[in-house]
Amino acid sequence: MGFSSNLQGKIAHEALLSRQDAELRLLESMKRCITLKVKSDRDYATALSSVAAQGLKFDRSDELSGSLVGASWRSMMEEMDNTAKLIRQNADSMESKCLDALNSLYTEKRKARKLYQEEHSRILQQFTHLSDEVSRKKSEYQKYLELYKLARYKFEEHYVKSGRGGRKLDEVRDKYQKACRKLHLTHNEYVLLLCEAVEFEKDFRTVLLPGLLEHQQSLQEAFISTWKQLLIEIATNSDLTSEKFREVQRKIENSIESIKPSEEYKDFTEKHKSSPTEPVKFTFDESLVEDSAGKLLPNQLTVDNLTVEWLRTKLTDLETSIKENQEKRTALTTNHEGLANGNSTLNNEINNRLSTTSIDTSRKEVNELKCQERKMLKQTELIKSALNELGCEEAPAACDLSIDNQNFISNASEQGDGSQSTLSKRSMFEAHRLVSMLRKPFRRKSLPSSPVAPPRSRSRKDSSGARSEGADPVSLTTNKSLVDEEWFHGVLPREEVVRLLSNDGDFLVRETTRNDECQTVLSVSWGGHKHFIVQTTAEGHYRFEGPAFPSIRELILYQYNSGLPVTSRSGAILYKPIPRERWELNNDDVVLLDKIGRGNFGDVYRAQLRNSNEIVAVKTCRVTLPEEHKKKFLQEGRILKQYDHPNIVKLIGICVQKQPIMIVMELVPGGSLLTFLRKKSSTLTDGQLMKMCLDTAAGMRYLESKNCIHRDLAARNCLVGYNNVVKISDFGMSREEEEYIVSDGMKQIPIKWTAPEALNFGKYTSLCDVWSYGILCWEIFSRGDTPYTGMSNSRAREKIDGGYRMPAPESTPDEMYRLMLRCWEYKPENRPNFEQIYSVVETLCAAYRVTFC
Ligand code: ADP
């Protein structure tokens, strides 16, 4: 299938030229590609070298000395650098050899194409030329043939006409001869030309064109052979599996092969060999509990009213976690067994290794879970035994004020000279105050209707086992319900209960709400205060540890009459039922008449006491409020019951027998001072206003002397009584302390009435009340205006910190305004106390000749 026999046609000739053009284009493209490949290989080699250099940097420290993995990595990086070198060498060689060869092949091929085209044109031209000559000669031949025919016709015509002579005939004959000659010559030329053409045509077809094509074919094939060599060279220089590269790979593989997990840490272990760590002993630092008066014991959980719920929740959480942990562990163990069994069927080494690792991991996880579980089980045991200890006892109070104060007193008296006393002056004060509280008879108009059952001779035994006389027996009077018993104290707060139970064996019964459930609690003084929750049996009977009874009353009476301990753990025996105090009124003793106000905890009513018909004011606490709020509500009663002063609203009692709990107070008919000032602004004289300032100063002087900080002194919290006497009220925020630091945020703070140190640091003293007193006087003289009118709370605070003080309300006496400014001294120590304030206001009142001063 050679060119010569197959490619003679015109179309084949064109195709051959196109093919050569395409090959030239391919060569050009190859040149471009090889140039790019050389460049990219060089770039890659450079990048690879720098990666290898980076990878070798790990080797700078000697922490990895002796590491087989390290050595293998080093070798891998070195071989990576060698790979880079090889790639660079190949690129150089490709550039120098292949690119040059490609260039010359391109030139040669171009030249060959050109020559072929020229030669082909030349022989084709010869043939065309000859063909043209033949045509031309043939035309010439035809022309001379016509001329000859004409000349012969003329000669024959003359010859016939003139006979055989004459000049004209000669001329005609001559022309005839010339035409004949021309025709014959042309004929011969034509014959010769045709002979040449025939020969040439034969040569063109059989010799010249095939020869040219044959030559071209051999040239092309020679080019292809060079081309092939070139491609071989390119392939060789691009071969990453060549021996040189394989050598690199072998070295890497050998270095990896030399890694032996068991030997990896041999040198390291040798170098850092040390003895096993000493076990760390975690011990309870006993000095931590030295000051806890035995409430906190080393290594023992403290179960009290503040922690019991937390402990129960913690126990539930722990038990849930233990269960989850066990489930996880079972799942892991099953999985682990599955992996171990599947091992034998796995041939692939990697898979084997992976499953071994998985088994190790799951084994490790199982161990960790076991450790966690052990920890949790230990904690569970600890909590359970602490809670079991408690039994049916209500958790003891964490802070039992009455005990603390009794301790204070006995400690203080034991200290004798006082010089070695560790008690602060304040604690001593507190102790005395509490003692007087315990002793002081409480103001009450009506006495309890049903006294405690008659005394029965039974000796009192203290918690140490010694007996003492004086126990009151209780008889089981029929038809009496628990609430009728004088020793039933309703929902009296626990803090009050512990204050009432002072001797071992003293007891009372009360109610409490826990998790929305009402529980009846027997509170007993027995080496501290114990609170036993009455347990309900499946039959609906009541019991502690002993027999069950159909009613709580019977249970308590049994406990009292039998002289048996309530629980064996506590050993607590009931000796003396403690009746309700005078101020513990029955809810039914109070008849609510009409609503006269609305407080934070509930509505305020005008009411009547059933026994004395006295008209009183009653603050109620909404039944739906949480227990904490109810305690806060009663706080006012707790504080007020100790005070007796004409300018302090008086407490008559509290009703805690059932819900709603109530505080019964003297009715102050004029209502709140703020409303009063606003209503009567036009009629109030400066003298009356001065008198109001004096009343409040007197009340505050009294509170200051009692170490009571009111914390919310303002016109809205004062009441106006007969003859416009002002009484300080609303002790909801009050604290009986010299200094009170707020730690539970500053919610609902009356910003515009509160001193800067209380706002900024939560630090309250009576001198904070002095600041508020200044504002109260401003309210009085402005006849009920809002302080810092038009300013927001934060703006007022900012301004005060910047030194701003309110101007005096119109018609304020100068001395009074000077007093206000002294009350608003930024530093509390620069403010007057209420003793001083009272004497200033008293003098001013006298100067105003106010008759009632
Ligand atoms: P709370 O302390 O719950 O905010 P307040 O002491 O402010 O309740 O009482 C609300 C309103 O009830 C007062 O503004 C006042 O009008 C009225 N009030 C409270 N106590 C008495 C009282 N002893 N005599 C007459 N009215 C009273």
**Top mean-pLDDT range of 190-204, 295-309, 432-446, 516-530:** 190-204
Positive or negative, the Cα torsion across 281, 286, 288, 294?
positive
Cis ω on the peptide bond leading into residue 660 (within 30° of 0)? yes
What was the pLDDT predicted at 737?
65
| Residues 684, 538 share a domain | no
Report how many helices (DSSP H) and strands (DSSP E) the chain contains, helices first: 23, 19
Q: Hey, how many other C-beta atoms are within 10 angstroms of the C-beta on 461?
A: 18
Residue 409 within any structural domain of the chain: no
Interacting residues of 212 by C-beta distance below 8 A, sequence separation 6+: 116, 119, 120, 123
Domain's final residue, options 191, 212, 238: 238
User: Is the Cβ–Cβ distance between 506 and 492 less than 8 Å?
Assistant: no
Q: Which residues are annotated as a binding site?
A: 596-604, 619
Atom of ligand 1 nearest to the CA of 667: 24
| Residues 595, 565 share a domain | no
Cα 499 to averaged position of ligand 1 atoms, centre (Å): 28
Q: Hey, how many other C-beta atoms are within 10 angstroms of the C-beta on 614?
A: 15
Task: Look up the domain containing 573 and give its range.
Answer: 475-577
Which of 590, 592, 593, 596 to probe ligand 1 with, by most ligand atoms within 8 A of CB?
Answer: 596
Residues 196-232: tens digit of each pLDDT = 999 999 999 999 999 999 999 999 999 999 999 999 9
| Residues 609, 490 share a domain | no
* pLDDT tier at 351, thresholds 50, 70, 90: low
Cα Rg of the chain (Å, integer):
62
Q: Is the pLDDT of residue 106 over 90?
A: yes
719 lines ligand 1 (CB under 6 A): yes
Q: Hey, how many other C-beta atoms are within 10 angstroms of the C-beta on 592?
A: 14
In sequence order, what are the beta bridge partners of 536? 542
Instruction: Please report the beta strands in 621-711, taking only residues with DSSP state E, as ranges in sequence order.
Output: 651-655, 662-666
Number of Cα atoms under 13 Å in the Cβ half of residue 695: 27
Interacting residues of 387 by C-beta distance below 8 A, sequence separation 6+: 303, 308, 311, 312, 315
Q: Is the pLDDT of residue 131 over 70?
A: yes
**pTM, full prediction:** 0.51
- Residue 527 is part of a domain; what is its CATH number? 3.30.505.10
Residues 297-320: tens digit of each pLDDT = 888 898 887 888 889 889 989 999
Residue of the nearest CA to atom 3 in ligand 1? Answer: 599
625 lines ligand 1 (CB under 6 A): no
The H or E element that residue 263 is part of is helix 261-264
Residue 204 within any structural domain of the chain: yes
- The token duo for 519 is 């529980």
Query: Annotated active-site positions, please?
Result: 712
What was the pLDDT predicted at 434?
34
730 lines ligand 1 (CB under 6 A): yes
Q: Residue 452: name the closest of 437, 468, 472, 466 by CA.
A: 472
| Residues 846, 829 share a domain | yes
**Top mean-pLDDT range of 327-336, 559-568, 770-779:** 770-779
Residues 601-611: tens digit of each pLDDT = 899 999 999 98
Residue of the nearest CA to atom 17 in ligand 1? Answer: 597
| Residues 91, 153 share a domain | yes
More confident residue, 803 or 419: 803
Q: Is the pLDDT of residue 424 over 50?
A: no
What was the pLDDT predicted at 802?
93
Q: How many domains does the chain have?
A: 5
Q: Is the pLDDT of residue 744 over 60?
A: no
Cα 567 to averaged position of ligand 1 atoms, centre (Å): 45
Residue 1 within any structural domain of the chain: no
Q: Is the pLDDT of residue 378 over 70?
A: yes
Residue 271 within any structural domain of the chain: no
Residues 802-850: tens digit of each pLDDT = 999 999 999 899 999 999 999 999 999 999 999 999 999 999 988 875 4
Residue of the nearest CA to atom 20 in ligand 1? Answer: 617
- Can you tell me whether residue 163 is helix, strand or coil? coil
Atom of ligand 1 nearest to the CA of 636: 2
| Residues 618, 495 share a domain | no
| Residues 602, 563 share a domain | no
| Residues 690, 652 share a domain | no
Interacting residues of 642 by C-beta distance below 8 A, sequence separation 6+: 433, 437, 440, 706
Residues 164-193: tens digit of each pLDDT = 677 888 889 899 999 999 999 999 999 999
Residue 502 within any structural domain of the chain: yes
- The token duo for 848 is 């105003």
Cα 730 to averaged position of ligand 1 atoms, centre (Å): 7
| Residues 658, 570 share a domain | no
Residue 256 within any structural domain of the chain: no
| Residues 841, 700 share a domain | yes
Number of Cα atoms under 13 Å in the Cβ half of residue 188: 5
Positive or negative, the Cα torsion across 451, 457, 458, 459?
positive
Residue 529 within any structural domain of the chain: yes
The H or E element that residue 508 is part of is strand 506-514
Domain's final residue, options 666, 682, 717: 666
* pLDDT tier at 393, thresholds 50, 70, 90: confident
Residue 566 within any structural domain of the chain: yes
542 lines ligand 1 (CB under 6 A): no
750 lines ligand 1 (CB under 6 A): no
| Residues 306, 231 share a domain | no
DSSP 707: T
676 lines ligand 1 (CB under 6 A): no
Give the strand pairing for 535-536 and 542-543.
antiparallel
- The stretch 498-522 carries a mean pLDDT of 88
N-to-C CA span, the chain: 145
* pLDDT tier at 738, thresholds 50, 70, 90: low
| Residues 573, 590 share a domain | no
